[in-house]
Structure 1
Amino acid sequence: MKISLSRCRRLLVSSSIVSFLSTGAAAQNISGYVTDEHNNPVPFANIFIKELQSGVASDDKGHYYLTIDPGIYNLVVTSVGFHTQTAQVIVRDKPVTRDFKLQSSSVELNEIEIRVRRRDPAYEIIQKVIDNKEKYLKQVSSSRVNVYVRAGETVDDRKKKKEQPEEADDLKKEGPPEDPFEVARKKEEARLQKINLVEMQLVLNYRYPDQYKEERTAFKQYGTRDGLFIPVFSRTDFNFYHNLVDLKGISEIPMISPVSRTAILSYRFRLEQTLKEGNQTVYKIRVTPRKTGDATGRGYLFINDSTWNINRLELTLHKGALKFYDDFTIRQTYQEMDSGLWIPTRQEFVYETTSGAKLFRGNTVLIYSDYKKDHVFPPRFFGNEVAVTTKEAYERDSTYWNDTRPEPLTADQQKVVAYRDSIEAVRKSKAYIDSMAARYNRITVGEVLYHGVGFRNEGKKSNLFLPSLANLIGFEIIGGFRIAPYSRYFRSFENGRMLNIGTSVSFGLKNKDVNGNQGIWVRYNPYRLGDASMRFGREFQSINSFDAYLNQLRISNYILHEHVNLFHRIELLNGLYVSNDLVFSNRRSLHGYDNTSIINEVIKETDPLLFEDYQALITNTRLAYTPAQKFMTEPNRKVVLGSRYPTFIFNHRKGWDRVLTSDIDFDYIDFTIDQRLLLGTLGNSRYTLMAGKFVNKRDLRYVDVKRFRQSDPYLYSDPMYSFQLLDTSLFATDWFVEGHYIHHFNGAMINNIPLVKKLKLRTVAGAGFMWIKQNGFRHEEVFGGVERVFKIGARRRLKLGFYGVLAQSNFLPPRADWKISFDIIDTWKREWSY
């Protein structure tokens, strides 16, 4: 008998009520067969009882059976590919036999009739959606809709502490007992401080196929937004009619849609229930991945009969693919706007992550209203700016939000708003600002000894920091320990501009020498990312600061550098950056210094690089262009989102002869292409290509040649800028070419291996090559390995890797070795280093 547990319960409840109200009439059964016009059985047909809002499905032979109390009932029989049939049945004190003969809805369903006997009808329903999804992708050429976004997060203790009776605590304390109302108030305030909330109102503009632009008109934040999912629609479309659903910032790889062209290869489907919602018949289909992989989800699809479109869905992503969350569920509800036009009117994202004893639960709701189909936009409305936030958006008060919220806040969220609004009002008062400044600026013994001393001005948004006594001790490769005081001053302005000033002095205990640096940095144009800085001082400088770690400990890698630096960068056009760097320096050998330190116990070298002192004026001009760079505009800054195209870089470095007493004369150029590639479920790749040479080397000194990093023993270095089995440091003064490539499969291969996939490993492969003209040197290498991500905090992730490397060059035979790597994810960009 094909009857679900929930339906059984409803039938039993209904039967009990009818039996109680009746004169003791016994329940009877209705049974029969469902066949087609050729008397072939129709398996898995749905027999729906209108009066009870419940029903059963026929078995694989078309037979159905249900138990029901006496009465008059209307039975609705439906099946994929057949016309719906309705019949009235009168149940008295005897069993009722009622057969149904369904008529095919299309002559093209003969093939379906044969296949439906072999598998669940859900597959035919999904196929219908797939056949019609192109229509729903193209049904709207453009639109404009209001969207309300609310994202909230609560932080709870996973293990509740066992509370002691208050009476027992009171007995242990001296003096008057605590006011229980005050204790309860403090506990409630502490709980509310663990709730974060963001509300946003925006107008979402869309033009087929993938152009979006947000106009954010209201924004309010309570607490931190670090763990909240706040969508940028140009990056997180969540349109399941696409074959792949891109989940940037959430998942390492896109998700395969359950209605993709190849969905049957990735999912199993089962028809669980047929629902009657008004005049609409809706099929509830369970979606289960065939294999537990990172690119699939599990849950339910609700499909409309006849129109074959998504009514609503609930899908949960596999945690192996998630970057920051341990669990992420997507819920969508569609509504018919015009005849045949179904659009999402509500989306909800439920997510959580754990960190130690803390559980972070998040919920983001999107509610759509005032939908306008085929909206006409002015020319050039859509472009690389995908979101803009007005200044007024941050000034909306509680009256505005109370009038515009389409859904009320939860009880806790209402408390958070009231609590934090009251705190915000207090914090803006001069008395509070002065009291907090006095508290923060009070100097303590702990700050002086260990933490450092800070002085803050809330009104000016400035901060001055001085080091602790423990931080005054520094260490240099040259000469060992030094006394090195420093200070930093930072200030941000309302218009987005920033100022940073730093100064340091370093006194060598062994050589009695004084070094130091002073610098100032200004962001003067936040909209065009305009930065300028000046720095001057005297320091020990590494000739090749990117070299292998052990080489950084060699005295011969350092010179004494007295310098003045000027730097400027600006974005000329969107994606086009120009930077200029000018350095005038007096370069001196370290001959005569006592270079010995504890490092000499590891690196048996005490001889510095010998050369005659000289002056050098060097300028560096860099042009970088990223076509179609996407960005968001805030009231006081620009937020760059990246591009699908490569970044092209041209660099020119010039050593000037006889300008400001400069003694050098050279010109160096190089060209670079850098790109990240998203390859769907196959993973993601990145490559860099660089070529360069010295076009003028009339007076090229050893310090200024182009250098290549020697590989570290056992440690894996950034494969985009270095090699893993280069056994020595190299340099070039003529043409050179180098290229690097890495591909992260993100589970695309190893997740197909039983048991192994439970280890949560990810495979990676890559290659690199280099050619240097002046000595005909050639080096090639390939590598492959596995990586695993470990959680080290609520939103901090550590990636450990183990790799095998195979390399060869025209001077050495092929050789192999192994490497290990450590990489911590960038929580701001939500990207790994490589």
Structure 2
Amino acid sequence: MRMLLAICSLFILPLALHAQILSGTVRDSSGAVLPFSTLLIKGTTRGVTANAEGQYTLHLSPGAYTVVCEHVGYAKSEKKIDLSADRVLDFQLTTQRLSLSELIIKSTDEDPAYGIIRHTIALRTIHLKELESFQCMVYSKGKAGLYETPKRFMGKKIPTDTNYIGKNTTLYMSEVYARYAESPPDKQRVEVLSTKVSGQSNGYGATIPYIVSFYQNIIDLGNLNPRGFVSPIAAGALHYYKYKLVGTYFEDGRMIDQIKVTPRRAYEPCFTGTINIVDGLWRIHSTDLVLLKTAQLQLLDTFHMQQLYAPLDNGLAGDTGAWVMRSQVGQFAFNLFGFAGGGSVANIYSDFELHPGLPKDYFGNATLQYDKGSNKKTADYWDSIRPVPLTAAEAWDYHKKDSLEKIQSTPRYMDSVDKANNKITPLGLFLTGINISHQRSKVTMSVPPLTTAFGFNTVEGWYGHLNLGYEKRFGDHQALELHPDIRYGFANRTWGGSLEARYRFNVKYASELTVAGGRTTFQYDNADPITPQLNTAYTLFDVANYMKIYEASFGRLQYAKDLGKTGLNLVLGGEFQDRSPLTNTDTSTYWVKGSGKPGFTPNYPASAGPIAPNKALSFTATLNWHPGMKYIEYPESLVPLGSKYPIFTLSYTKGVSGPLGSTADYDKWRLSIHDNINFRIGGLFKYNLAIGGFLNDRNVAFQDDDHFQGNLTLAASPYMNNFQLLPYYAYSNTDRFYAEGHVEHHFAGLLTNKIPLFRQLDWYLVGGVNYLYLSDGRIYTEVSAGLENILNILRVDYLWGLPNNGPQLTGLRIGVKIGP
């Protein structure tokens, strides 16, 4: 009998101790669900958040509990329960009843909210430092979807019967459960313990669960505005916001002041909404804030942030303890080219530990690290740790896309997708190019559009140029690329061709080996100061053959490698060129008869004169260093995130005479530093500075000179590397020393957002200076002033070129904004 009881106890006891499920729905007084409400077990740090349908689930051991339910703008509700079995416990919250002291406020009196805000601002840095060193657990769920789609986009019909595009479609959904830590002054680490992406069994969730602290002066929300947004309790917030005390209410014996915040002026980077302050403690209780387009919000139409703080120890230390973030929910909406959609990111924080005493090496270069096997957790695991239950639609999305993933991995499905995607369309043929893929063999082939396959220059006349692409992937981080290049000039009746092979390997630290060779044309500056398309247009319609080319048989070998987590990248290479000059063969100007243009110039840089054939063998070593580089570390690879420090680049090139008939004999070097400095509200400052020169110039062909890229076209050349008015090759040299600098300041709405009517255009000021000094005494300076963000992408500059030994230059340049 004892043996029987013992055996039975092995089964019965675990069942008795098994956690019970407490679940329910949170609604308002009208019965409407309250999404993302917070539920806590009083006297503990345990809690969950309701999902988008107001549903919550808590796993608790049998016992007596007090469950606290909160939602920003609603009165807190507490319910006591004695849990011995699974139970449903619903909450109905009432709108927060606010009271306002019966004060007679004259039109000249200041609203009481201003005094509350001043107190909060005075203690802002103290509350900020309370949470400068902590460790906690965080669950994050992010999703995005489409609500409306156009019938056609870029000439193609939008298929509404797919599982990824169409009305009311979830495009992306992921979950992350992670250990999150911060340490002063700016160290962060997120260790992802588990992650799940709908429809991607090998995927890693992209949600990053950082806390957005309104105790900071400027709220950084990434690409939503490079200037950032001014916090309602920033040190200078009174210059940006108007405040109104809506009322007060009491919660756990504390008086909470609800304050409405609105921007003083439209088109300032400010929030609209309410912020609740704990009276007397002058700290944030909760926030309900929105960003609109009039706040210079980019990419999105609206962004809504709700946060809820709570005492770290649930008030056991009275009013002396720190308050920590319990939940943070961001919701967004967008409408772009007829695609309307939105999404949310819900972060739930728990198990806070202040000043955890982590070892010094805990905060390494990997700020976001995914544990091995983190994306292989079971459904039962997720059900046990998920503090925000899935809605019915979310559960169905997982089920549907997991099933689709299995179907999409079958040969039949992949072949059918390839057949549909590989169709040749007029748009691809003329503008975007043709891509042909075969998923099963992991092969992709590409053909450029016809707009780049033909061109005109004075040497070849009309020419055909076909640069094909072939890629074979051997895994997620290994691939072989082949780029055969075929060229034919109809006027000089000359064929040219080359082949480049590139092999990417080494999964953890990126490595690349490139081999190339053939006989083809090069610009005298191998960095290509003008594109073939621009040169074609100016040659045909402006009698300006800016591009100067020569022909060469060449061979090139290059090896590049990231050196661990050091922020160092090493590039080693060697190249041989057997160079021959080319002459004009087609100088007809029938496209612009009677233009009065002086005619075409010879096919060599005017500053150099005719250039003789030559052979050159050179070796180059380049070391790039980005100190303080941060990474995302996956189990098998690293992804660089950048650093707050500038990038340093040191290169050295040696021209070697003798082998293969090379006559090159020179040594040259270059050291550069470049960075973008974000002054937030003050705008973005960019700089690219370099020094260099020749240590030895015993025999230097013009092609191997130090060249400084100029531009004589209306189209702006790359801003931070080029001079926009400088004639091509005008300052090419072999001097012992040069100094080059490019600086720009992007005001990003500063100043222009204060000009009535004009500010509604959302155009931003930009100014810059380009500078060049040569040791032979020549100096060239460019100053520019312009407007950017025109139609969200265009930039227009007017420039003044100021050489120290020549006439002043002026000109207009139109460009496209790419990147920050």
TM-score after normalising by structure 1 = 0.75
Task: Kindly indicate whether the alpha-carbon contact (under 8 Å) linking 1:555 and 1:595 is maintained by their aligned counterparts in 2.
Answer: no
Measure how far apart 1:789 and its partner are: 4.1
Measure how far apart 1:269 and its partner are: 1.0
Match of 1:708 in 2: 708
Deviates more, 1:446-455 or 1:496-505: 446-455
Deviations 1:421-442 (A, max 9, x none): 11112223455446556x4698
Deviates more, 1:687-696 or 1:398-407: 398-407
Identify if the C-alpha distance between structure 1 residues 524 and 425 changes in structure 2 by more than 3 Å, giving closer, same or farther: same
Task: Kindly indicate whether the alpha-carbon contact (under 8 Å) linking 1:60 and 1:117 is maintained by their aligned counterparts in 2.
Answer: no
Answering whether residue 39 of structure 2 is matched by residue 57 of structure 1, we say no
CA distance, structure 2, for counterparts of residue 373 and residue 199 of structure 1: 25
Identify if the C-alpha distance between structure 1 residues 613 and 756 changes in structure 2 by more than 3 Å, giving closer, same or farther: closer
Match of 1:37 in 2: none
Identify if the C-alpha distance between structure 1 residues 237 and 725 changes in structure 2 by more than 3 Å, giving closer, same or farther: farther
Identify if the C-alpha distance between structure 1 residues 806 and 506 changes in structure 2 by more than 3 Å, giving closer, same or farther: closer
Match of 1:819 in 2: 812
Identify if the C-alpha distance between structure 1 residues 520 and 123 changes in structure 2 by more than 3 Å, giving closer, same or farther: same
Match of 1:153 in 2: 144
Match of 1:664 in 2: 664
CA distance, structure 2, for counterparts of residue 755 and residue 456 of structure 1: 50
Identify if the C-alpha distance between structure 1 residues 479 and 221 changes in structure 2 by more than 3 Å, giving closer, same or farther: same
Identify if the C-alpha distance between structure 1 residues 215 and 395 changes in structure 2 by more than 3 Å, giving closer, same or farther: same
Task: Kindly indicate whether the alpha-carbon contact (under 8 Å) linking 1:154 and 1:360 is maintained by their aligned counterparts in 2.
Answer: yes
Deviations 1:498-517 (A, max 9, x none): 22122233344444432112
Match of 1:766 in 2: 768
Match of 1:629 in 2: 629
SS in 2 for 1:136: helix
Answering whether residue 571 of structure 2 is matched by residue 579 of structure 1, we say yes
Task: Kindly indicate whether the alpha-carbon contact (under 8 Å) linking 1:229 and 1:364 is maintained by their aligned counterparts in 2.
Answer: no
Task: Kindly indicate whether the alpha-carbon contact (under 8 Å) linking 2:554 and 2:578 is maintained by their aligned counterparts in 1.
Answer: yes
Give the alignment partner of residue 600 of structure 2, picking from 605, 621, 627. Answer: 605
TM-score after normalising by structure 2 = 0.77
SS in 1 for 2:360: coil
Measure how far apart 1:649 and its partner are: 1.6
Match of 1:650 in 2: 650
Identify if the C-alpha distance between structure 1 residues 467 and 658 changes in structure 2 by more than 3 Å, giving closer, same or farther: same
Deviations 1:23-74 (A, max 9, x none): xxxxxxxxxxxxxxxxxxxxxxxxx9x9997464344449xxxxxxxxxxxx
Give the alignment partner of residue 558 of structure 2, picking from 561, 564, 567. Answer: 567
Deviates more, 1:211-220 or 1:410-419: 410-419
Query: Which runs of 5 or more structure 2 residues have no equivalent in the other structure?
Result: 1-28, 31-74, 78-93, 153-158, 540-544, 605-609
Measure how far apart 1:294 and its partner are: 3.6
CA distance, structure 2, for counterparts of residue 392 and residue 282 of structure 1: 45
Answering whether residue 183 of structure 2 is matched by residue 207 of structure 1, we say yes
Write the letter of the residue equivalent to 1:304: V
Answering whether residue 239 of structure 2 is matched by residue 239 of structure 1, we say no
Any residues of structure 2 matched to 1:152-191 within 5 Å, and which?
152-157=143-148, 190-191=166-167
Match of 1:694 in 2: 694
Write the letter of the residue equivalent to 2:262: T
Match of 2:789 in 1: 788
Deviations 1:212-246 (A, max 9, x none): 1011222333379xxx995546xx65211122222
Deviations 1:330-360 (A, max 9, x none): 2211122223221111111111221232212
SS in 2 for 1:392: coil
CA distance, structure 2, for counterparts of residue 408 and residue 731 of structure 1: 66
Match of 1:257 in 2: 231
Answering whether residue 747 of structure 2 is matched by residue 745 of structure 1, we say yes
Deviations 1:485-538 (A, max 9, x none): 554221333352222122233344444432112121122124322111111111
Identify if the C-alpha distance between structure 1 residues 351 and 515 changes in structure 2 by more than 3 Å, giving closer, same or farther: same
Write the letter of the residue equivalent to 2:329: E
CA distance, structure 2, for counterparts of residue 149 and residue 185 of structure 1: 30
CA distance, structure 2, for counterparts of residue 449 and residue 289 of structure 1: 50
Match of 1:313 in 2: 287
Task: Kindly indicate whether the alpha-carbon contact (under 8 Å) linking 1:784 and 1:804 is maintained by their aligned counterparts in 2.
Answer: yes
Answering whether residue 346 of structure 2 is matched by residue 365 of structure 1, we say yes
SS in 1 for 2:725: coil
Give the alignment partner of residue 404 of structure 2, picking from 396, 399, 423. Answer: 423
Measure how far apart 1:471 and its partner are: 8.4
RMSD over aligned CA atoms reads: 3.7
CA distance, structure 2, for counterparts of residue 471 and residue 752 of structure 1: 43
CA distance, structure 1, for counterparts of residue 422 and residue 126 of structure 2: 67
Write the letter of the residue equivalent to 1:280: R
Deviations 1:441-481 (A, max 9, x none): 9888989988987664434433244679x689533533234
Task: Kindly indicate whether the alpha-carbon contact (under 8 Å) linking 1:452 and 1:465 is maintained by their aligned counterparts in 2.
Answer: yes
Task: Kindly indicate whether the alpha-carbon contact (under 8 Å) linking 2:745 and 2:767 is maintained by their aligned counterparts in 1.
Answer: yes
Deviations 1:657-708 (A, max 9, x none): 1123212111111221212111121111011221211111111112211122
SS in 1 for 2:222: coil
Any residues of structure 2 matched to 1:9-408 within 5 Å, and which?
54=97, 56-61=99-104, 118-140=109-131, 142-157=133-148, 190-191=166-167, 193-222=169-198, 232=208, 237-319=211-293, 320-338=295-313, 339=317, 340-408=321-389
Task: Kindly indicate whether the alpha-carbon contact (under 8 Å) linking 2:562 and 2:568 is maintained by their aligned counterparts in 1.
Answer: yes
CA distance, structure 2, for counterparts of residue 599 and residue 650 of structure 1: 48
Deviates more, 1:491-500 or 1:197-206: 491-500
Identify if the C-alpha distance between structure 1 residues 398 and 712 changes in structure 2 by more than 3 Å, giving closer, same or farther: farther
Task: Kindly indicate whether the alpha-carbon contact (under 8 Å) linking 2:149 and 2:166 is maintained by their aligned counterparts in 1.
Answer: no
Match of 1:91 in 2: none
Match of 1:515 in 2: 496
Match of 1:641 in 2: 641
Measure how far apart 1:562 and its partner are: 1.1
CA distance, structure 2, for counterparts of residue 599 and residue 200 of structure 1: 65
Task: Kindly indicate whether the alpha-carbon contact (under 8 Å) linking 1:116 and 1:124 is maintained by their aligned counterparts in 2.
Answer: no
SS in 2 for 1:706: coil
Task: Kindly indicate whether the alpha-carbon contact (under 8 Å) linking 1:783 and 1:803 is maintained by their aligned counterparts in 2.
Answer: yes
Deviations 1:369-398 (A, max 9, x none): 232333232231113221112341232343
Measure how far apart 1:620 and its partner are: 1.6
Measure how far apart 1:295 and its partner are: 2.6
Deviations 1:716-744 (A, max 9, x none): 43332222333563212112212121101
Answering whether residue 786 of structure 2 is matched by residue 805 of structure 1, we say no
Answering whether residue 512 of structure 2 is matched by residue 531 of structure 1, we say yes
Match of 1:731 in 2: 732
Deviates more, 1:644-653 or 1:541-550: 541-550
Deviations 1:526-577 (A, max 9, x none): 4322111111111111112443567785387110021111111112252122
Identify if the C-alpha distance between structure 1 residues 720 and 465 changes in structure 2 by more than 3 Å, giving closer, same or farther: closer
Match of 2:529 in 1: 547
CA distance, structure 1, for counterparts of residue 162 and residue 722 of structure 2: 55
Identify if the C-alpha distance between structure 1 residues 217 and 493 changes in structure 2 by more than 3 Å, giving closer, same or farther: farther
Deviations 1:251-277 (A, max 9, x none): 121222111222212111111021223
Measure how far apart 1:484 and its partner are: 4.9
Measure how far apart 1:318 and its partner are: 4.2
Task: Kindly indicate whether the alpha-carbon contact (under 8 Å) linking 1:294 and 1:318 is maintained by their aligned counterparts in 2.
Answer: no
Write the letter of the residue equivalent to 1:731: S
SS in 1 for 2:332: strand
Task: Kindly indicate whether the alpha-carbon contact (under 8 Å) linking 2:199 and 2:405 is maintained by their aligned counterparts in 1.
Answer: no
Measure how far apart 1:614 and its partner are: 2.7
Task: Kindly indicate whether the alpha-carbon contact (under 8 Å) linking 1:53 and 1:276 is maintained by their aligned counterparts in 2.
Answer: no
Match of 1:33 in 2: none
Measure how far apart 1:787 and its partner are: 2.0
The structure with the largest alpha-carbon Rg is: 1
Q: What percent identity do the matched residue pairs reach?
A: 24
Query: Which runs of 5 or more structure 1 residues have no equivalent in the other structure?
Result: 1-8, 11-47, 63-114, 162-182, 791-797, 826-830
Write the letter of the residue equivalent to 2:812: K
Identify if the C-alpha distance between structure 1 residues 52 and 134 changes in structure 2 by more than 3 Å, giving closer, same or farther: closer
CA distance, structure 1, for counterparts of residue 627 and residue 163 of structure 2: 53
CA distance, structure 2, for counterparts of residue 423 and residue 246 of structure 1: 37
Length, aligned pairs only = 692
Answering whether residue 581 of structure 2 is matched by residue 589 of structure 1, we say yes
